Chains A and B, each alone.
Chain A
């Protein structure tokens, strides 16, 4: 329906699957969790999502490394404001570099590594209260599409992990996949658009039950 678009939710899903194909050990753990909660005999439902803490940790880790809006949406102050002894003149455009904050070594241990375990048994959420992880911003200008975007990302990722095993294109080892950002400046898309091979992992009748 739509050709090329700049779409935040889409690129979030693309990144998450790319990181998981890149790290088969993490994908396997996510699928084990899903098998334990959902089983292999019925399709995934939205009501299963709260019971998948490891999947949610993966999504947080994905947002930390690949925030869909890396420099957030610019804020603006109408009057002079003093912040930690600096004067911010009125009408300054204020950019919060979420990408840099997510990789700050003072906050994150081994910041370049994709490691969902840092969010297992942690109370860090992405609702804008932990200032080291703000994929949807924070405060009154926080992304108003938070709930629906979260739902679509969690559900979409959970379903494709439940229904398929994923591998890179033939001839490419998972560890050799490129997890670098593209350089077109305004989106955070992978440098190479993700192509993958899918293999069904559920009994045939379950796929019919999806519709």
Chain B
């Protein structure tokens, strides 16, 4: 008797286990295909530099929609036009948010920038300010003369090199063109047209922005394995906070200068973003203004920070 009930116990156990595995398999197979997952590291072994290249190779094997596991993150990789349309058009709203990565948190000044901030009310407000106050057609036309002067500086710079018959490193030339254009939009003039205190803070601001982009663009293990977050093993967050403090201090000093005196701010005469943002009807916190200013200066730098190891 005991033997029989033991037997049935075993049968029920095995069947349950089989059903469980079948359910697990169906669950897994309903996710997009992808390379095998190893414990903890997931599919990390299958990635190499440059990342877009190795993801492209994996897509040849697993198809235009793949699933990779990186630490505790589930990552979906889209590799053809049809699937891109599914994500960016058909399911636009569903996929409109952003991951809460440590680097993004600091680069966005605690989720106050239009690029990295998750989808929601803050993003909508930022979007509205961006479209109706900052990058309007009128405003872009205002800056046309500035852009014209900046290409003139670039041509002069290249001409000087020509006369000396020198080889020209192009990157610094382009970097100067773009940075000076952005500086004019944010602060109203090129950095070397300011004096003393303001000039120092503007130059320091751009230098710190450049540093935070490089640091924030590095992979951070705490993003992959959240349990490690409090330990900040690579000192990633510590470094970011240091640079962020530098930026905050430069911008506070700059805001202080721009707050002096009663300025009339309107759509036609105001020629810099700082004054516009300091005088919005929406009365943004300084922190939020810093986020907006920073994103203009940094462009995007951390687009794939979670996957390059």
B31 touches A46 (CB 8 A): no
Question: With A81-B95, A96-B78 as given contacts, are A194 and B171 in contact (CB-CB < 8 Å)?
Answer: yes
Tell me whether B91 and A92 are in contact (CB under 8 A): no
* A–B pairs, 21, beta carbons within 8 Å: A2-B207, A4-B210, A6-B213, A10-B174, A13-B178, A73-B300, A77-B91, A94-B78, A96-B88, A99-B56, A101-B80, A131-B84, A152-B181, A156-B151, A160-B154, A182-B50, A185-B304, A186-B217, A186-B303, A186-B305, A188-B50
A198 lies within 8 A of B168 (CB): yes
Contact call B88/A131, Cβ cutoff below 8 A: yes
For the complex formed, measure the closest distance between the CB of A67 and the CB atoms of chain B, giving whole angstroms: 9
Convert B298-309 into 0s and 1s, putting 1 for each residue whose CB lies closer than 8 angstroms to a CB of A. 011111111110
Q: Is the CB of B52 within 8 A of A99?
A: yes
CB-based contact A211/B77 at 8 Å: no
Q: Is the CB of B31 within 8 A of A89?
A: yes
Known: A14-B171, A76-B118. A144 touches B127 (CB 8 A): yes
Q: Is the CB of A92 within 8 A of B300?
A: no
Known contacts A81-B95, A95-B55, A140-B93; A134/B88 CB under 8 A: yes
Residues of B within 8 A of A195 (CB): 167-170
Residue on A with the closest CB to B304?
A71
Q: How many A-B residue pairs have CB under 8 A?
A: 303
Interface pair A74/B78, CB less than 8 Å apart: no
CB-CB < 8 A to B149: which residues of A? 211
CA distance A94 to B300 in the complex (A): 17
Asked, given contacts A92-B75, A103-B56, A131-B84, whether A10 binds B97 with beta carbons under 8 Å apart, the answer is no
Are A93 and B56 within 8 A (Cβ)? no
B32 to A, closest residue via Cβ:
A86
Report which of A43, A69, A76, A104 forms a contact with B81, defined as CB distance below 8 A. Answer: A104
B147 surroundings in chain A (CB, below 8 A) = 46, 151-152, 155
Given A92-B75, A184-B49, answer yes or no on A73-B95 (Cβ-Cβ < 8 Å): no
CB distance from A6 to the nearest CB of B (A): 5
Q: Does B116 contact A (CB under 8 A)?
A: yes
Any A CB within 8 A of the CB of B284:
no
Residues of chain A contacted by B20 (CB below 8 angstroms): none
Q: Contact check, B92 vs A139: say whether CB atoms are below 8 A apart.
A: yes
Chain A: residues with Cβ within 8 Å of the partner, total of 95
Which one, A9, A78, A185, A210, contacts B308 given CB within 8 A?
A: A185
Q: Is A75 an interface residue (CB 8 A)?
A: yes
- Bitwise interface map of B from 32 to 63 toward A, beta carbon under 8 Å scored 1, else 0: 10000000000000000111110110010000
In the bound complex, how far is the Cα of B49 from the Cα of A187, in angstroms?
A: 11
**What sequence of 0s and 1s flags, for each residue 168-207 of chain A, a beta carbon within 8 Å of any chain B beta carbon?**
0100000000000111111110000111111110000001
What would 4 more interface pairs be, CB under 8 Å, given A81-B95, A144-B130? A9-B174, A69-B300, A92-B75, A186-B303
Q: Establish whether residues B76 and A97, one from each chain, have CB atoms under 8 Å apart when the complex forms.
A: no
| Interchain CB contact under 8 A, A71 and B52 | yes
B180 at the interface (CB under 8 A from A): yes
Q: Are A96 and B154 in contact (CB under 8 A)?
A: no
The answer to whether B81 touches A5, judged by C-beta atoms less than 8 angstroms apart, is no
Query: Which of A's residues lie within 8 Å of B, judged by CB?
Result: 1-11, 13-14, 17, 43-46, 69-79, 81, 83-89, 91-101, 103-104, 106-107, 128, 130-132, 134, 137-141, 143-145, 147-148, 151-152, 155-156, 159-160, 163-164, 169, 181-188, 193-200, 207, 210-211
Question: How many Å lie between the Cα of A195 and that of B172 in the bound state?
Answer: 11
Contacts of A128 in B (CB 8 A): 88
A147 lies within 8 A of B135 (CB): yes
Segment at the interface with A among B157-165, B235-243, B248-256, B263-271: B157-165
Known: A101-B80, A103-B56, A151-B140. A198 touches B162 (CB 8 A): yes
Smallest distance from the beta carbon of B43 to chain A beta carbons, Å?
13
A207–B153 CA distance with the chains assembled, in angstroms: 11
Q: A71 with B51: in contact, given A95-B304, A186-B217, A211-B152 (CB under 8 Å)?
A: yes
Task: Check if A74 sits within 8 Å of B74, measured CB to CB.
Answer: no
A9 — nearest CB in chain B belongs to which residue? B178
B75 touches A93 (CB 8 A): yes
Give A91 to B55 CA distance when docked, in angstroms.
Answer: 20
Judge whether B148 and A95 touch: CB under 8 Å: no
Whether, in the assembled complex, B177 has its beta carbon less than 8 Å from a beta carbon of chain A, the answer is: yes
Do B210 and A3 touch across chains, with their CB atoms under 8 A apart?
yes
A74 B87 Cβ-Cβ under 8 A: no
Q: Are A14 and B135 in contact (CB under 8 A)?
A: no
Closest to B190 in A: A1
The complex places the Cα of A10 from the Cα of B162 at a distance, in Å, of 21
Please name all residues of chain A whose beta carbon is closer than 8 Å to the beta carbon of B229 when the two chains form the complex.
none
Give complex CA distance A181, B130 in Å: 33
Question: B178 near A10 (CB under 8 angstroms)?
Answer: yes
